[in-house]
Amino acid sequence: MKRTINIKFDIDPSFTKIEIIIRSNEKTELTKNIASMIRDYVIQEETESTAIEVFKGNNSKKIDQNDIVRIYIEDRKLIVVALDDIYQARGTLQSLEDTLDSKSYIRISQSEIINLDYVSSFDMSIKGTIKVVFEDDSCSWVSRRFVKAVQKRLSDLARNGGVSNE
């Protein structure tokens, strides 16, 4: 018996999410496989959209942007510090900044972007600059040009409950 599948698209501007309905007279291996393939595809798309391609030697891999602690330029190379290792990336700092989640990442200098999720403290005791201390005790500095923007962002986050005032 030859199976036929009808596929319909119902475009409705009032929908905010995609809704997929599989209609059948019974739950079969085919319907389970279709649902599984759709689920796997969506998961893959979400992961790839937040993944950044990085390189270590001749090997490349994709890492989720949530695993990136900081990105900076050193000796004209784009360095990505992740939770598990240090990598290089291709492109520019600006192109990476455009793909990163603006809620977690902030540019602190012309050559560095940090992930606020991995910052343990900000030391503002030195006049005119801010020392950034990461959870692994490494540190970086906010350049004078970016101090006001970083202070505003931290103030906004503190006001919205995103940063503790310890």
Kindly list the distances between the CA atom of residue 37 and the CA atoms of 2, 6, 33, 44, 103, in Å, as whole numbers in the listed order: 21, 17, 6, 10, 31
Beta bridge partners of 55: 60, 88
Q: What are phi and psi of 134, to 5 degrees?
A: -90, 165
Mean pLDDT over 108-119 rounds to 95
User: In the prediction, which pLDDT does 46 show?
Assistant: 62
Contact (CB, 8 A) for 80 and 90: no
Please, which residues have CB within 8 angstroms of residue 121's CB and are 6 or more apart in sequence? 133, 166
Q: What digits encode the pLDDT tens for the residues 85-104?
A: 999 999 899 988 988 888 88
Mean pLDDT over 2-19 rounds to 81
Question: What's the pTM?
Answer: 0.67
Mean pLDDT over 2-6 rounds to 75
pLDDT of 130 > 80? The answer is: yes
Give the chain as a DSSP string: ------------TT-SS-------SS--HHHHHHHHHHHHHHHHHHHHHHEEEEEETTEEEEEEGGGEEEEEEETTEEEEEESS-EEEESS-HHHHHHHS-TTTEEEEETTEEEEGGGEEEEE--STT-EEEEETTS-EEEE-GGGHHHHHHHHHHHHHTTSS---
Q: What digits encode the pLDDT tens for the residues 19-46?
A: 888 888 888 888 888 888 888 777 766 6
Task: Retrieve residue 75's tokens.
Answer: 């000796």
Q: What digits encode the pLDDT tens for the residues 134-166?
A: 999 999 999 999 999 999 988 888 887 664 444
Contact (CB, 8 A) for 88 and 56: yes
User: In the prediction, which pLDDT does 164 show?
Assistant: 44
User: In the prediction, which pLDDT does 1 show?
Assistant: 59
pLDDT of 73 > 90? The answer is: yes
Provide the sign of the torsion angle of the four alpha carbons 125, 128, 134, 139, taken in this order: negative
